[in-house]
């Protein structure tokens, strides 16, 4: 009887300690003074994905970028979002970006778990595997926006302009993908000329979009039917701002 009583008391103590720790955890606040229960835990659902238009999704990303630039990011309950997306995902957009570590795509658009597909490759070019990935996101998973995102001071573009040779056929093949964008920009081929460098970076975005449209009947078909939107954008390393580029082929101008 005494043994049973001691075990019972022990269970009560453990339960009390556990409850106390959970209460303390839920009552803890972050730098914004929010408790865990007050943080955003909602994720993208099929219903929300179906309802959103491509233009609304683009506006959402740009508004998120404004929050990123101002430092007013949404505070999310990431463990809850992770748990909620375990059985499925319904991202609203696909972003093709460079691998550059200074361009953290989810951060710069202030997106949470399950919100966007991110496809990354040096120089934000396209090949069969990347096209297939984008086709999956747009044609199968239901995303409605494709953004090709170039960025300031892109190392891959700089290396392509300089015709860097590191003794790797793979690197050479990748840099050769950027060559058409370089050839179409007027002026002396000089990576130290910021105006020329920036023009090539933006032109490379346009070149990639044109290649995607030409090489993917799925993506071009969805775009022609108005089911998705394809846009080019430029990310500033200087201030973190994303600017949408004109869709006029290879002009490299902003609006």
* Per-residue model confidence as pLDDT tens digits over 57-101: 999 999 999 999 999 999 888 889 999 899 999 999 999 999 999
Q: How far apart are CA 220 and CA 134, in angstroms?
A: 12
Using a 10 angstrom Cβ sphere, with 0-12 exposed, 13-18 middle and 19 or more buried, the burial of residue 134 is buried
**Is 254 within a domain?**
no
232 and 206 share a domain? yes
**Is 77 within a domain?**
yes
Which residues does 203 contact at the CB level (< 8 Å), separation at least 6?
181, 182, 184, 185, 250, 252
Which residues does 78 contact at the CB level (< 8 Å), separation at least 6?
112, 113
**Is 255 within a domain?**
no
Query: What is residue 207's predicted lDDT score, i.e. its pLDDT?
Result: 97
pLDDT tens, position by position, 18-48: 444 444 444 555 555 555 456 888 987 899 9
Domain count, the chain: 2
Tokens read off for 93: 């957009």
**Is 143 within a domain?**
yes
Maximum separation of any 2 CA atoms in the chain, in Å? 93
12 and 55 share a domain? no
**Is 152 within a domain?**
yes
Which residues does 92 contact at the CB level (< 8 Å), separation at least 6?
44, 48, 49, 52, 57, 60, 115, 116, 143, 144, 145
- Whole-model pTM? 0.83
**Is 12 within a domain?**
yes
With tokens 């803890």, the residue in question is 28
The arrangement of strands across the sheet holding 229-235 comes to 116-120, 93-97, 145-151, 229-235, 242-244
154 and 215 share a domain? yes
pLDDT tens, position by position, 188-238: 999 999 999 999 999 999 999 999 999 999 999 999 999 999 999 999 999
**Is 253 within a domain?**
no
Range of the domain at 18: 1-37
25 and 44 share a domain? no
Q: For residue 72, what is the domain's CATH number? A: 3.40.1050.10
155 and 219 share a domain? yes
**Is 249 within a domain?**
no
33 and 60 share a domain? no
197 and 79 share a domain? yes
């Amino acid at each position: 009887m005494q043994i049973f009583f001691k075990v019972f008391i022990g269970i009560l103590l453990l339960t009390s300690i556990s409850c106390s720790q959970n209460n303390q955890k839920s009552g803890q606040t972050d730098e914004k003074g929010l408790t865990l229960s007050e943080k955003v835990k909602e994720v993208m659902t099929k219903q929300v994905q179906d309802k959103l238009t491509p233009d609304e999704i683009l506006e959402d990303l740009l508004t998120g970028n404004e929050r990123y630039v101002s430092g007013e990011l949404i505070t999310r309950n990431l463990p809850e979002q992770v748990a909620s997306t375990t059985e499925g995902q319904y991202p609203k957009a696909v972003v093709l970006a460079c691998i550059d570590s200074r361009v953290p795509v989810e951060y710069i658009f202030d997106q949470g778990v399950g919100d966007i597909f991110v496809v990354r490759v040096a120089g934000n070019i396209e090949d069969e595997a990347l096209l297939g990935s984008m086709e999956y996101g747009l044609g199968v998973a239901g995303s409605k926006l494709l953004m090709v995102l170039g960025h300031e001071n892109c190392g891959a573009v700089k290396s392509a302009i300089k015709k860097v040779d590191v003794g790797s056929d793979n690197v050479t093949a990748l840099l050769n993908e950027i060559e058409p964008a370089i050839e179409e920009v007027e002026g002396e081929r000089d990576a130290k000329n910021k105006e020329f460098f920036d023009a090539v970076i933006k032109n490379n975005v346009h070149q990639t979009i044109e290649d995607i449209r030409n090489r993917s009947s799925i993506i071009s078909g969805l775009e022609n039917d108005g089911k998705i939107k394809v846009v080019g954008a430029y990310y500033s390393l200087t201030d973190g701002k994303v600017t949408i580029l004109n869709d006029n082929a290879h002009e490299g101008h902003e609006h």
